[in-house]
Amino acid sequence: MDYIKLSNRFWKLHKEAAFSTAEIALYFHLLSICNELTWKNPFQQSNVLLCASLGLSEKTLIAARAKLQTSGLLAFVPGHKRTPTTYRLAGHAALFSLEDTLENALENFQSKLQPIRELTPPDSASQLPNTLENVASSINQTSSVVENQTSRVGACEGQVSSLPESPSPGAPSPRCAAPSSPASPAARGVAAKLAAHWKITELRNARRWGQLVSFCRALDEAGQLAYLDQQFAAYAAHRQLRGISSHGLDTYLGHEQSLGPDGMPYADGAWTEKDWAAELADERHRQQQRPGATPALATKASASPSKQQSWD
């Protein structure tokens, strides 16, 4: 197995899947463990140890590894009682090994091609290049077949469920999660506003940017993107008017698994804990009622930028 290849494959999938912070942390933690175990695959890790290492709840851990499995990045068999969960990165490691073997063989073959030509007798030199090039072409075609099969395995892997977690009595049967759709331009636009507020850039902090895109996409799919945009604008103005810093990003967003009465995700985030438009109006009214206050005071916040924590 190859750490760089697996890492590049993850970030390639991340462009469409927009993995959450927990999913990114879990995958690279498991990748690091596999590397430390000299690429022992499969390997075992307990939920307790992973939760402690990553600072995740068990519910978040289970959801994160399920998303990674449906994306074709890993497969797992849940543990029972004192038996830890068994993880297998990239699903079918044999295909990766075969692909690596073919690539190495091709590189070695091409590096030795020129010396062989130079040592070939003149009378057979005209025939040798064609023969060698045919062999190289065959190796290239075989490598392409392996690459295509690897992609098909990764896609199919998300449709095959491993042994399920022990369900509670009366709980519905688990279903494979549908692949995440790309964020709409509107969702990415709102994500860009939040990123500017918390000083996050896509190039310098891809993980945080992906977290924001995933957040906005989920609310867009729930029909709450306009509400989020309104809430954020009022929230930012309210914090500036009061001269106080914003919440930490994780606290502001909340958790996707936390649903409101109408099924809206991220219902535990600070972004929706109050009616920020009403809070802003109340704060402007209070400041206008203070002795010596001027009408300009209500809009003072728009002229002075607030200090925010940078996530770069």
pLDDT for 214 equals 92
What is the percent of the chain with per-residue pLDDT over 90, rounded to a whole number?
Answer: 36
* DSSP reduced 3-state for 151: helix
Average pLDDT over residues 155-166: 40
311 domain-assigned: no
How many CB atoms are located within 10 Å of the residue 90 CB? Answer: 24
Using only the alpha carbons of the chain, give its radius of gyration: 27
Token duo for residue 13 = 């999938």
Mapping DSSP onto H, E and C, the string for 272-288 reads: HCCCHHHHHHHHHHHHH
Q: Which domain holds residue 218?
A: 185-303
Confirm if 16 and 188 have CB atoms less than 8 A apart.
Answer: no
Residue 256 gets which letter from DSSP?
A: T
Which pLDDT tens digit goes with each residue over 195-214? 999 999 877 788 888 899 99
> Does residue 227 sit in the same domain as residue 191?
yes
Parallel, antiparallel or unpaired: strands 74-77 and 43-45: unpaired
How many domains in the chain? 3
Strand, helix or coil for residue 208 = helix
Give me the mean pLDDT over the 46-75 stretch. Answer: 91
The mean per-residue pLDDT over the stretch 70-88 comes to: 88
DSSP 42: S
Cα distances from 51 to residues 25, 42, 71, in angstroms, run 11, 19, 21
Determine the 3-state secondary structure of 12 from DSSP: helix
In terms of pTM, does the model score above 0.95?
no
Residues in the chain: 312
Q: What is the DSSP letter of 80?
A: B
Query: Is the per-residue pLDDT at 165 higher than 50?
Result: no
In a domain, 162, yes or no: no
pLDDT at 148 over 70: no
User: Residue 38: pLDDT above 50?
Assistant: yes
The helix/strand/coil state of 56 is: coil
List, for residues 48-59, the tens digit of each pLDDT value.
999 999 999 999
247 shares its domain with 275: yes
Spatial separation of the C-alpha atoms in residues 185 and 306, rounded to whole Å: 27
H/E element, 76: strand 74-77
| Position 248 in a domain | yes
Query: In the prediction, which pLDDT does 93 show?
Result: 44
Mark whether 20 and 125 lie in a shared domain: no
Percent with pLDDT over 70 in the chain: 64
Q: What's the chain's average pLDDT?
A: 76
Query: Does any domain span residue 168?
Result: no
Phi, psi of 43 (to 5 degrees): -145, 170
Q: Are residues 43 and 122 in the same domain?
A: no
Q: Show the tokens assigned to 272.
A: 């929706």
Where residue 67 falls among pLDDT bands split at 50, 70, 90? Answer: very high
The closest alpha carbon to 26, from 213, 258, 207, belongs to 207
Given a cut of 60, is residue 303 above it in pLDDT? no
Which residues make Cβ contacts (< 8 Å) with residue 267, sequence separation at least 6? Answer: 254, 258, 259, 260
pLDDT at position 277 over 50: yes
User: pLDDT of 111-122, one tens digit each?
Assistant: 666 666 566 555
Strands of the 85-89 sheet, one edge to the other = 43-45, 85-89, 74-77
Domain-ending residue, one of 157, 174, 200: 157
48 and 110 belong to one structural domain: no
Q: Facing residues of 235 across strands?
A: none
